[in-house]
């Protein structure tokens, strides 16, 4: 098991380095004056340009620049944004909000996706299964930003069940509507994955053997069908956490949630290169770490993986 963890860790490092290198290279090393390019049409005062030059060590060779950038990233010394605010401080403010949103969305899709999926899978071909299957296709087909506006309009404005925008007071209750929107598409995927997994495992030989041993139906379902079916679902859910945090940008924009995505979008609108690179790098780190944890979880859930050399 320890060997497995070590091996996975060793594989994660090049991925993280490669991805940040790619991002960093695209922003800072392509032809043209990176600082000027960062600001587009709005040229900042010379003082800002000079600060950025030294902050990104643009007088140094590329590899040194990148190394120092990484060092800054890991020491959370991300520099200042346009308005002179430290990026690290504002990230520390917005990050928990997005984490809350993503976790709430994850919980919604885990609970409802698995429950619906198991129910549909156990009675494959029944009316519930058929209805849920078609409904899930429709959910997958509606883009998140369309869904966001529809939900905002219907539940926020017309029915008044929730506040249409979140604003400054982000908490579990106000984040519920955006979390539903954020989680809905993956909810459909979780449902379909669970259903497929359950209905495949139902026909597994070991399930028949378990029945032949004299186990009651509930025990067969719990210990043999569900336990085995949930392995791929749990790993999908885990991998999705990173995706949800990175994908929250649209949802946060629509509902005016003061999170990472919103911050990033503001930075894009204002063409603030340094902020974009910093935020994206942090999100990539989250994504990569989440995937690593999922792999370990997978190995823990499925004993066969641990010994696969």
Closest CB 80 distance from another protein, rounded Å: 19
CA distance 292 to 298: 10
Q: Are 91 and 277 in contact (CB under 8 A)?
A: no
Rounded CA gap, 13 and 271, in Å?
30
Contact assessment for residue 261 and residue 251, using Cβ atoms and an 8 Å cutoff: yes
287 contributes a contact to another protein by CB under 8 A: yes
Q: How far is the CB of 149 from another protein (least distance, A)?
A: 6
Q: How far is the CB of 238 from another protein (least distance, A)?
A: 15
Q: Least CB distance from residue 111 to another protein, whole Å?
A: 23
| Binding of residue 127 to another protein (CB under 8 A) | no
- Residue 4, Cα to own-chain centre: how many angstroms? 24
Strand partners, 86: 80
Q: Does 205 bind another protein (CB under 8 A)?
A: yes
Tell me the number of residues near another protein by CB under 8 A: 77
Residues in the chain: 309
Verify binding: residue 153, another protein, rule CB under 8 A.
yes
Q: Is 160 in the site for another protein (CB under 8 A)?
A: no
- Residue of 85, 13, 100, 102 whose CA lies nearest to 278: 85
Give residues 237-266 in contact with another protein (rule: CB under 8 A): 242-243, 246-247, 249-250, 253, 264-265
Nearest distance from C-beta of residue 277 to another protein, angstroms: 7
Distance of alpha carbon 108 from alpha carbon 106, whole angstroms: 5
Min. distance of Cβ 301 from another protein in angstroms? 7
Binding another protein (rule: CB under 8 A), the pick from 53, 85, 128, 219 is: 219
Token pair 């859930």 is found at 301
The residue range among 70-78, 80-88, 113-121, 143-151 that interacts with another protein, by the rule CB under 8 A, is: 143-151
Query: Over the range 168-191, which residues count as b (16 or more CB within 10 Å of their CB) and which as e?
Result: eebeeebbbbbbbbbbbbbbbbbb
With respect to another protein, which residue has the nearer C-beta, 75 or 309?
309
Helices 87-122/260-269 angle, 10° precision: 120
Q: Does 268 bind another protein (CB under 8 A)?
A: yes
Under rule CB under 8 A, residue 302 binds another protein? yes
Q: What six digits make up the tokens of 51?
A: 């600060």
- Name the minimum Å distance from CB 254 to another protein: 9
Q: Which of 210, 234, 293, 297 binds another protein (CB under 8 A)?
A: 210
> Residues 111, 115, 121, CA angle at the centre, nearest 5°?
145
Give the x-and-dash track for 29-48 against another protein (CB under 8 A).
-x-x----x--x--------
300 binds another protein (CB under 8 A): no
Question: Is residue 273 near another protein by the rule CB under 8 A?
Answer: yes
Applying CB under 8 A, among 51, 55, 165, 211 the residue interacting with another protein is: 211
- Does position 114 interact with another protein (CB under 8 A)? The reply is no
- The reply on whether position 137 binds another protein by CB under 8 A is yes
Comparing CA positions, the residue from 159, 225, 160, 162 lying closest to residue 195 is: 225
Q: Give how far the C-alpha of residue 175 lies from the chain's centroid of Cα atoms, to the nearest Å.
A: 16
Residue 14 zone, left/alpha/beta (φ > 0; ψ -120 to 50; rest): alpha
DSSP code at position 43? P
Considering only residues 164 through 183, tell me which ones interact with another protein, judged by CB under 8 A: none
Binder to another protein among 107, 111, 135, 223 (CB under 8 A)?
223
């Amino acid at each position: 098991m320890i060997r497995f963890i070590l091996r996975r860790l060793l594989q994660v490092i090049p991925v993280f380095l490669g991805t940040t290198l790619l991002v960093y290279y695209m922003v800072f090393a392509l032809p043209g004056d990176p600082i000027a390019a960062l600001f587009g049409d709005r040229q900042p005062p010379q003082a800002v340009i000079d600060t950025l030059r030294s902050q990104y060590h643009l007088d140094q060779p590329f590899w040194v620049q990148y190394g120092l950038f990484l060092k800054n990233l890991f020491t959370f010394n991300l520099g200042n944004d346009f308005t002179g605010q430290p990026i690290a401080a504002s990230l520390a403010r917005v990050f928990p909000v997005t984490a809350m949103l993503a976790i709430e969305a994850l919980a919604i899709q885990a609970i409802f996706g698995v429950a619906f999926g198991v129910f549909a899978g156990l009675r494959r071909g029944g009316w519930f299964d058929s209805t849920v299957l078609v409904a899930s296709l429709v959910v997958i087909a509606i883009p998140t930003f369309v869904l966001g506006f529809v939900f905002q309009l219907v539940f926020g404005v017309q029915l008044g069940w929730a506040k249409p925008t979140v604003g400054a007071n982000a908490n579990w209750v106000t984040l519920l509507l955006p979390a539903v929107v954020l989680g809905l598409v993956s909810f459909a995927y979780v449902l379909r994955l669970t259903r497929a997994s359950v209905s495949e495992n139902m026909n597994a030989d070991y399930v028949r053997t378990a029945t032949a041993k004299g186990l009651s139906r509930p025990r067969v379902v719990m210990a043999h069908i569900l336990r085995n079916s949930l392995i791929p679902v749990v790993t999908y859910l885990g991998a999705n956490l990173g995706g949800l945090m990175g994908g929250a940008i649209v949802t946060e924009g629509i509902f005016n949630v003061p999170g990472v995505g919103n911050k990033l979008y503001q930075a894009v609108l204002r063409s603030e290169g340094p902020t974009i690179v910093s935020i994206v790098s942090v999100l990539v780190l989250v994504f990569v770490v989440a995937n690593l944890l999922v792999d370990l979880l997978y190995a823990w859930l499925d004993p066969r993986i641990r010994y696969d050399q």
